[in-house]
Amino acid sequence: MKLSLVNIRSKFVSLISLYSARTGMILLFTGIMANLSAKEYMITSSGAKSDTNFLSTIGIQSAIDLCSKEGGGKVVIPAGNYLTGTLYLRSNVTLYLGKGATLFGSPHLSDYPENLPEYTFFRKGEVCRALIYADNCSNIAFEGEGTINGQGGRFGVAGGAKSDSYSVRPYLIWMIQCINIRTEGIKLMNSGLWMQHYLACDQLYIHNIDVFNHCNNFGRCRDIKYTH
């Protein structure tokens, strides 16, 4: 594959932003080569379906787990509409949403298991759910041209009553004590709670994303780059 310097700079601007100040060009070059050769894992090969009446949580999670187990790479969500409950992102995994791809959060709270991280924070034990969750992971990313839609306005409780409880509804993205997170190019919308909660994370890079929601939170994080 032949790439001009302009193309390399465009494709890997996030690596330049995250690493050049600390590690120089050698690590940058290594990062570029690793990204170019990253293995891809299609969620449709693991059982996910483009059908909002079909819950694809197991298929998508299987692709994420396999990707991490085999050393990392890119989990690809192709064009289509996919419904999911909680997904657990793993180290060295990039979640890539292709053009025309939308990942919809399930409107049923039963599809969001409670998570109790060890890290102490405000209202620990009360806020427990998220659409995408990671705890003590490193080198993770969200990228592409697709959309993650939490469908936050559709959450209810037993009996059909709508839930406004702060502690019941899920975050869209919840990262805790993670290192080297990159969120780039995607659209995030309609979270049930805070859209993005990066808690006690280091080396967080957010670039060129489209967000429609009422709240984002960067609790106790360090080394944050938020660009347009």
Other C-beta atoms closer than 10 Å to the C-beta of 141 total 20
Compute the mean pLDDT over every residue in the chain, rounded to the nearest whole number.
79
pLDDT higher than threshold 70 for residue 220: no
pLDDT higher than threshold 50 for residue 17: no
pTM of the model: 0.77
Question: Where, residue-wise, is CATH 2.160.20.10 in the chain?
Answer: 39-227
The region of weakest confidence among 23-32, 97-106, 153-162 is 23-32
> pLDDT by residue (tens digit) across 92-150?
999 999 999 999 999 998 999 988 877 666 555 567 899 999 999 999 999 999 999 99
* Confidence (pLDDT) at 160: 46
Other C-beta atoms closer than 10 Å to the C-beta of 189 total 17
Other C-beta atoms closer than 10 Å to the C-beta of 144 total 20
pLDDT higher than threshold 80 for residue 37: no
pLDDT higher than threshold 90 for residue 224: no
* Confidence (pLDDT) at 119: 67
Place of tokens 């919840």: 174
- Domain 39-227: top CATH class: mainly beta
Question: Predicted confidence band at 179 (pLDDT cuts at 50, 70, 90)?
Answer: very high
Question: What's the alpha-carbon Rg for the chain, to the nearest Å?
Answer: 17
Q: Can you tell me the distance from the alpha carbon of 173 to that of 193, in angstroms, rounded to the nearest whole number?
A: 10
> pLDDT by residue (tens digit) across 64-94?
999 999 999 999 999 999 999 999 999 999 9
